[in-house]
Amino acid sequence: MENFNYYNPVKILFGKGKIAEIGKWIPRGMKIMMTYGGGSIKKNGVYAQVMDALQGFDIVEFPGIEPNPHYETLMRAVELAKRENVGFLLPVGGGSVIDGTKFIAAAICFEGNEPWDIVAKGAKINAALPIGTVLTLPATGSEMNCGGVITRESTKEKLAFRSQHVFPKFSVLDPTVTYSLPTRQVANGIVDTFVHVMEQYYTFTEHAEIQDRFSESILKTLIEIGPRLIQDETPNYDDRANFMWAATMGLNGLIACGVTEDWSTHHIGHELTAFNGLDHGITLAIVLPGVMSATKMKRREKLLQYASRVWNIDPTQPDACDQAIARTEQFFNELGVKTRLSDYGVGIDTIDRIEKRFRDRGMFALGGIDDVNVDNVRAILTSRL
Ligand code: NZQ
Ligand code: ZN
């Protein structure tokens, strides 16, 4: 196991009815900016619950943060927050609303001229407004991490940033708020969580037994509850609760402690969203099987561990690695997620653009291991047509 520092300051308020508690955790006297998306929270009663919990607070609203939040939209929120002298940010929504609000929090306090540099150049963030989140879509882990992913619509760029200053002060995880999710978003969330774990687990065998078994437990939980989450006519509280907690635990830094991480599937997937607008989860379901096939020699030992412990495949069988990759893709398909670029009308022209973009950025390795790189990204994507 490698050395590591682990720090996670996010207070989690988990369970039915927990939105009612948020007033306790927001300092009195601060004007709150509540951010949200396209209106799902007004239909499912979450907006009303938040408003009830915040009686007596001074609130300004910023609706309209879109999926894959746009820099252009977020900068309008920065202006509003400055004008209104906002002191606390409350995103109510999925990863896009939370990520977007993390960016707003950092951009308000940014000392440079161009806040886009936060994502484009990794410009240093010295401060950010405090944030508390109400999560409505289990998927990204944004509610318990310090990262965000922002899209600049005008240039079709989608880039990530991180800063300890944007860790939420608290996050509310009430599984009942997920009951209104469309099946497509439930499937996206399961795939995203699955792939987050794979990015931190499917690398090398590094004798990090706790992290490995923790990762395997998240994967096996998703495999067990995933099909039920998709098929259940009436949502089951415990399945929703396990899904929500799996997503949070999948990307709060714990399983990354002391191990090599990859993230190449995400880097490639972000380009597919930037150029073609595909849902984040869908891009990962397309790319991961290609990345696994391209890396199966170098990462064979870990792939066999995955095959055996997660899928109960006999690792002594000569095709155990291929079976594990096939089972992974089949799992995504069983959730109703198609896993070929052609299923979404994406062709070779996008592959050309993605390869060129990575070359233009001067990247060689696309993740933490150099077996996925600018020289084989074309072959990986072509294998997914
Ligand atoms: O906008 P509204 O009306 O709220 O509708 C949303 C949106 O259309 C809807 N939705 C959310 N909760 C709902 C609901 N509909 C009904 N009932 C509910 N309870 O779902 C749609 C998608 O929402 P979005 O927030 O975009 O989805 P997700 O949570 O999957 O977030 C995706 C974004 O997070 C980034 C992705 O790249 C993408 O931009 N990621 C962030 C990460 C992080 N911060 O650590 C890591 C991830 O790998 C990921 O890259
Ligand atoms: Zn993701």
151-196 pLDDT, tens digit per residue, is 999 999 999 999 999 999 999 999 999 999 999 999 999 999 999 9
Of 142, 176, 210, the position where a domain reaches its end is 176
Residue 364 CA, ligand 1 centroid: distance in Å: 29
Let me know: does 256 contact 199? Beta carbons within 8 Å. no
260, part of any domain = yes
Q: Which residue range forms the structural domain that includes residue 223?
A: 183-382
Is residue 141 within 6 Å of ligand 1 at its C-beta? yes
6, part of any domain = no
Residues 17, 121, single domain; the answer is yes
Looking at residue 233, its pLDDT comes to 86
Of 141, 176, 211, the position where a domain reaches its end is 176
Is residue 94 within 6 Å of ligand 1 at its C-beta? yes
- Best mutation site among 176, 177, 183, 185 for ligand 1, i.e. most ligand atoms within 8 A of its Cβ? 185
Residues 210, 93, single domain; the answer is no
Residues 191, 170, single domain; the answer is no
Residues 154, 264, single domain; the answer is no
Is residue 198 within 6 Å of ligand 1 at its C-beta? no
Residue 338 CA, ligand 1 centroid: distance in Å: 19
Tell me the HSE value of 22 on the side-chain side, using a 13 A CA sphere. Answer: 33
pLDDT of residue 240 exceeding 90, the answer is yes
Atom from ligand 1 closest to the CA of residue 178 = 19
pTM, rounded to two decimals: 0.98
146, part of any domain = yes
Residues 212, 121, single domain; the answer is no
Bridge partner list, 14? 173
Q: What angle do helix axes 95-109 and 71-83 make, rounded to 10 degrees?
A: 50
Looking at residue 3, its pLDDT comes to 97
Mean pLDDT of 246-255: 98
Query: How confident is the model over 6-43, as pLDDT tens digits?
Result: 999 999 999 999 999 999 999 999 999 999 999 999 99
Residues 80, 136, single domain; the answer is yes
Is residue 260 within 6 Å of ligand 1 at its C-beta? no
pLDDT of residue 101 exceeding 90, the answer is yes
Is residue 376 within 6 Å of ligand 1 at its C-beta? no
Is residue 253 within 6 Å of ligand 1 at its C-beta? no
Domain count across the chain: 2
3, part of any domain = no
Residues 172, 271, single domain; the answer is no
5, part of any domain = no
Residues 190, 172, single domain; the answer is no
Atom from ligand 1 closest to the CA of residue 150 = 39
Residue 273 CA, ligand 1 centroid: distance in Å: 13
- Sheet strand arrangement including 59-62: 11-14, 170-173, 132-135, 88-93, 32-36, 59-62
Question: CB 284: neighbour CB atoms within 10 A?
Answer: 30
Give backbone dihedrals phi and psi of 246, rounded to 5 degrees, phi first: -60, -45
Residues 230, 248, single domain; the answer is yes
4, part of any domain = no
Is residue 373 within 6 Å of ligand 1 at its C-beta? no
Is residue 185 within 6 Å of ligand 1 at its C-beta? yes
Looking at residue 212, its pLDDT comes to 98
Looking at residue 334, its pLDDT comes to 98
Rounded CA separation 147/7 (Å): 14
pLDDT of residue 385 exceeding 90, the answer is yes
Residues 158, 187, single domain; the answer is no
Residue 99 CA, ligand 2 centroid: distance in Å: 12
The CATH number of whichever domain residue 133 belongs to comes to: 3.40.50.1970
Let me know: does 259 contact 202? Beta carbons within 8 Å. no
Ligand at shortest distance from the CA of 174: 1
Contacts of 124 (CB under 8 A, 6+ apart): none
Contacts of 283 (CB under 8 A, 6+ apart): 268, 269, 270, 272, 273
Is residue 67 within 6 Å of ligand 1 at its C-beta? yes
Mean pLDDT of 146-154: 97
254, part of any domain = yes
Bridge partner list, 92? 36, 134
Which structure tokens are listed for 348?
Answer: 């070779």
Of 149, 176, 203, the position where a domain reaches its end is 176
350, part of any domain = yes
The CATH number of whichever domain residue 213 belongs to comes to: 1.20.1090.10
Residues 162, 75, single domain; the answer is yes
Give this complex's ipTM: 0.99
Which structure tokens are listed for 235?
Answer: 């949502």
> Whose CA is closest to atom 16 on ligand 1?
181
Share of the chain above pLDDT 70, in %: 100
Is residue 178 within 6 Å of ligand 1 at its C-beta? yes
Looking at residue 336, its pLDDT comes to 98
pLDDT of residue 321 exceeding 90, the answer is yes
Residues 189, 336, single domain; the answer is yes
